[in-house]
Chains A and B, each alone.
Chain A
């Protein structure tokens, strides 16, 4: 029983990263009604740039790496917007989908080339620290993951709901014509959305690599898939949905692993996705709809 609760707890702690990645996907979708398939790959890319630039500065502390990844994430977010959205005619629905898939593969290739395909050691935040509560324990670095993710999510929510930029972001997402009639600039909001989600992605990428202990391109595929699943389960465009769905997927993932083993785990996660697509296609917070 304690094993089970322990598994759920670990899963939820790690699930905050899925929430962060899901927020990145969902925010771009909310504002532009486009999927940015390159998001997770760019996040791992940012984590790599963060690692390299921190070691170039002879500062191997996890926190410096995080800081560098954050900045790199913002820059990569801007580049992805510029190349995959700004320079490509948005009217063609498939053009931007293909451009971001292309960017996903390109990012993979670039990381693979730069690392010669070998996993890179990634600094841990709280190595070998365990918090114990009776039978239960929490890995220190997972607690850090949880804490950083919560702070980032809170900062994003403050930005969205308490600032002028957040007001414009929500306005463009809900009613782009009216947003322009209020004097807002859609291109500016789109660009900033990519930079902000890029920053979140850089942090999430660094958190994941740090929790796993190494960075490799093997992370980009699963992270893209998990991010998309979280986005769909949370409801496309819903930030609160992405937060809850990330925790849900993280928790259930560990439950599946607990009962069925690591090899079967992701199969059940996929089945969960289909269960949502069929019975709640609008996501967790959508009103009952779908099958009629």
Chain B
């Protein structure tokens, strides 16, 4: 395996406050890599920096060998990275089908886009029944599926997922993680941010812990006792 995404010493700040204080990590080609950590540790900031919504102040982000740190979001999508954002961010006033079409915005192959939408409906069955309904009227779980499907419409090589289980009922969470494993089996590399350490460790090949803007642990599931991971993922280590 080789690294598809290489993050090195990335610093991202909101004004004077550094949310990422030199983060380095790697996502191997074909893997599910998971980033765990408490609220405010910088998980979403790293996702937003990788997708180009936030500009890192320094450091490098290499995707498939090319530097993408500081590139515009549309250029990063064009390279093959898609982010399923925290809180899903579906387009509330667009139908489910239009949301999917928006995900394929950069593609020109009209006929293939429509076929791709049909394949999404086959994979995410609840969405098919809601095809002409507005995104804002869907349930939380349906919105999460829509957000994942929308991201897939750009045919990404790397799928970033920011807390896909947030606020969902346990049964729906199981469903979302089943989908994550399935997507990975079909060849999509996945970089996942989670608070639900238990579920994330079940699917991940590798995981990192991030606390207060720094990576504090890197290992395979099993290399650290799960209760220790969960404690640190929710509360942070007691070093401070």
Instruction: List, in ascending order, chain B residues with CB within 8 A of A170's CB.
Output: 91, 93-94
Instruction: List, in ascending order, chain B residues with CB within 8 A of A183's CB.
Output: 73-74, 77-78, 105-106, 154
Given A170-B93, A171-B94, A174-B94, CB of A179 within 8 Å of CB of B102: yes
Q: Which B71-128 residues have C-beta < 8 A from chain A? A: 72-74, 77-78, 82-83, 85, 89-94, 98, 101-103, 105-106
**Contact B93 A178, beta carbon cutoff 8 Å:** no
In the complex, residue of chain B having the shortest beta-carbon distance to the beta carbon of A161: B98
Query: Counting CB contacts under 8 A, is B51 at the interface?
Result: yes
In the complex, residue of chain B having the shortest beta-carbon distance to the beta carbon of A184: B105
Instruction: List, in ascending order, chain B residues with CB within 8 A of A167's CB.
Output: 94, 98, 101-102, 105
Instruction: List, in ascending order, chain B residues with CB within 8 A of A175's CB.
Output: 89-92
**Contact B105 A168, beta carbon cutoff 8 Å:** yes
> Closest Cβ of chain B: how far from A102's Cβ, in Å?
29
**Contact B89 A180, beta carbon cutoff 8 Å:** no
Instruction: List, in ascending order, chain A residues with CB within 8 A of B102's CB.
Output: 167-168, 171, 178-179, 182, 184
Instruction: List, in ascending order, chain B residues with CB within 8 A of A178's CB.
Output: 85, 89-91, 102, 150
Query: Counting CB contacts under 8 A, is B53 at the interface?
Result: yes
> Closest Cβ of chain A: how far from B19's Cβ, in Å?
16
**Contact B91 A177, beta carbon cutoff 8 Å:** no
Kindly state the separation between the CA atoms of A123 and B166 in the bound complex, as whole angstroms. Answer: 62
> Closest Cβ of chain B: how far from A190's Cβ, in Å?
14
Instruction: List, in ascending order, chain B residues with CB within 8 A of A168's CB.
Output: 102, 105
Query: Counting CB contacts under 8 A, is A185 at the interface?
Result: yes
**Contact A164 B93, beta carbon cutoff 8 Å:** no
Q: Which B39-73 residues have C-beta < 8 A from chain A? A: 51-53, 72-73
Kindly state the separation between the CA atoms of A170 and B101 in the bound complex, as whole angstroms. Answer: 12
Query: Counting CB contacts under 8 A, is A57 at the interface?
Result: no
Query: Which among A164, A168, A175, A182 has the highest number of chain B CB atoms within 10 Å?
Result: A182
**Contact B74 A180, beta carbon cutoff 8 Å:** yes
Known: A171-B102, A183-B73. 11 other contacts (CB 8 A): A167-B94, A167-B102, A170-B93, A171-B91, A174-B91, A177-B89, A179-B91, A180-B74, A181-B77, A184-B74, A184-B102
Chain A residues in contact with chain B, CB under 8 A? 164, 167-168, 170-171, 174-175, 177-185
Chain B residues in contact with chain A, CB under 8 A? 51-53, 72-74, 77-78, 82-83, 85, 89-94, 98, 101-103, 105-106, 150-151, 154
Interchain Cβ contacts under 8 Å between A and B, 7 examples: A170-B93, A175-B90, A177-B53, A178-B85, A180-B74, A181-B51, A183-B74
